[in-house]
Amino acid sequence: MSNFNTDQFDLATMLKLSMQDILKEKIEYILREEIKSVLENEPVGEENSRNGYYPRTLDTMYGRVEELSVPRDRKGEFTTNMFEPYQRRMVVVDELVVQLYQHGVGVRQVGKIMKSLLGEQYSPGTISNITSAVMEDVIKWQNRPLQERYCALFLDALFVKVRRDTVGKEAVYIVLGITPEGHREILGFYVGGVESSNGWKEILQDLRNRGIQEVLLGVFDGLPGLEEAFRTIFPKADVQRCVIHKVRSTMNKARKKDQAELSMDLKKVYTLSSYEEAEEVLESVKKKWKKSYSRELLSWEKDLPVLLTFLSYPEEVRQYLYTTNLIERTNKEVRKRLKTMNSLPNIEAAEKIIYLTSIDYNERWARRRLGGFGLAYDKILKMFEKRYPKAKKV
């Protein structure tokens, strides 16, 4: 027996080539059985027969299968169920490309990865063509009907670099909802332009047109005009200004030596169980810091009603309602996947990635609900019934 030189032999390559041979053999066997079945079931009086083979290549998860023998009949009517007549890639290959793209791998890098698998690099145009099929799903998803009731809507925007004539930052508006049962769901996203209250108003109107009629609470930061825009579309909903954004804004104006202590004092305000207690504590904080931060604390006093709206909701779910953290964590993942591409060639490229990330999240969230909503469910239903009474049938 000759010695086996591992330095000169690529085991991975051998296994890959073996799988290609096995796969080719199995595919050709299935093709022969398919045409055999078709010819055996020809209607009486119809004459048809085999007419040789034609060669073709097919990209698979195990690499490129060359010279695949595809049978044909004399009438030219036989088609296999394994792939379309002009399809050059098995579906799993396209799915792999889409999965890579979903995780923020740029089209050129996807091409290199496919070369390592198939032995031939896919061009950026080919990758774009494969992922373009996703755009049909994006449009359907963005226009899908939504349910009538949501306990809360969270609004937040992030920014991505998109190439038009030049590279510039574009806003990505994202809306996350929590159902009365406690399930999270990304309801929609919208790419383009700069963030504005008018942009949000159009988005909220779109959500209403798609089915959302009853909302208890809107949670967002202090973008000028956003509260008014939200109340215009959902006039019966409450507004919760993100407390954490307010704390950050205050800390940005505080001296570094005071930030830790001031932050702890403000935390005492929004971690109490009642609005009246919070007012008393804020008054003591104002007295303590009035010489240094009177303007900032007056702003807290003015905004206190919209900062502490969450206190009127069941205690079991308040932890989710006082801040935009839920949607910010989602946006962080979206931003991470977009960031690897540096700048996107167009709006559609951003939409594909955000859509794929959104459906991934929604599928996971559909299987579990946020803790506390089970205990608070009856209380939440009573809030809906009180705020949105149904017309009595005559």
What is the value of pTM for the model shown? 0.69
- Per-chain mean pLDDT for the chain: 81
Higher pLDDT, 338 or 278: 278
Max CA pair span of the chain: 103
What pLDDT is recorded for position 334?
A: 80
Token code pair at residue 292 = 């240094």
C-alpha to C-alpha distance for 365 and 362, rounded to whole angstroms: 5
What are the pLDDT digits (tens) for 12-23?
A: 454 445 556 666
Sequence-ordered list of residues with C-beta below 8 angstroms from that of 15, at least 6 positions apart, any chain: none
Task: Tell me if 172 sits within 8 A of 189, measured CB to CB.
Answer: yes
Q: Which regions of the chain does DSSP assign to beta strands (E)?
A: 50-60, 63-73, 149-163, 167-178, 184-191, 214-220, 238-241
Q: In which band, very low, low, confident or very high, does the pLDDT at 31 lie, cut at 50, 70 and 90? A: confident
Q: In which band, very low, low, confident or very high, does the pLDDT at 9 lie, cut at 50, 70 and 90? A: very low
What are the pLDDT digits (tens) for 97-140?
A: 555 555 555 556 666 655 555 555 666 666 666 666 667 788 88
CA distances from 201 to 150, 194, 285, 340 (A): 18, 13, 36, 31
What are the pLDDT digits (tens) for 35-46?
A: 887 788 777 667
Whether pLDDT at 146 is above 80: yes
What are the pLDDT digits (tens) for 190-249?
A: 887 788 888 899 999 999 999 999 999 999 998 889 999 999 999 999 999 999 999 999
Percentage above 70 pLDDT, the chain: 72
C-alpha to C-alpha distance for 240 and 6, rounded to whole angstroms: 66
